Structure 1
Amino acid sequence: MVIIVKPKIQQESEATKRAIKEKVDIKNITVGITKLKKDSKGTVILGCESGEEIEVLKAEVQNKMGEGFKVTESTQMKSKIKIVNIEEEELNLTDEELVDTIKTQNGIEETEGREWKIVKRLTKGRQQERNRRGPIEGSIILEVDEATHEELLSKRKLSVG
């Protein structure tokens, strides 16, 4: 669960982050902040574990930041991970088949609440493919839940195909 703090006047994300740290006493709020990340167009993303914590954080940030900032809640934000060097044969699989292949080959168990979605497939340009020796390769961008994101990052290297 995250909230997005967006300035109403244009400024750098670093300036928004500084303003939050100056105005909101993060250390003394009764919530565990799990994420504090700068985003584009001056926005900053703050995250908590639970819905109750996010409500407390949202109220506190809105109260302290004042009218110059818009604070919105977002549960839609998913973590993304890019998997590179996937060979052509695997890139030709359906999304479901490719996700199943990744899970099976890397010992990732089906767990309730886990989300996997391929949001983009990238392949090398045709000009590059002609000049290359060897198989065509590409990448995928996966959108996953936080637990899956942590598990995939901890592996550092995945087998695909």
Structure 2
Amino acid sequence: MRFVSPRGWATFAWQSDYGQFYLVDRAGADVIAPVEITPEMEQRGLFVPPTGLVVYTQGCLQQHIRIAIYGTEPEHAPVEPMSGNPWTRVETVQARFPSRSFAISSPSMPDPLPAGPLFLLESEAVAVRIAWMEFEGSRDDSVPVEPDVIEVALWPGQA
């Protein structure tokens, strides 16, 4: 097994509004999130617009979002590394970021913060692997629960 070190990474304590967050290209092209979420988008937990990426979250308002950027495809942990719990779903897609950079955003904050955080990529086309570890069962927002974990790994993809 070969360990590939990330070229950049960050972890966010996030609160997804409307059950989604965006990876927005910094070239000024807005992520156009669809108004209607299809069953396929709901099942896969994502939508790939012409630029950027929309990631859907489960019913939990709280997430830990981990973003890691690699030079080549890394080894992927079969379970969430900190808890040892299995991923509840995993998807790999191709996405485009023409500026070779992106920021994280959400419906209530459609324009990312001008001072960051900003992620730089080696190529416009990237492969993206998203792994979710979601709480399964009923939620009661009056009772504290562990946040869902969403891990996003990016590396140069196909043009």
> Please, what TM-score do these two structures have when normalized by structure 1?
0.24
More helix by share: 1
TM-score with structure 2 length normalisation?
A: 0.24
Which structure is higher in strand share?
A: 2
* Structure with the greater alpha carbon radius of gyration: 1
Identify the structure with bigger relative contact order (alpha carbons < 8 Å, sequence gap 6+). 2
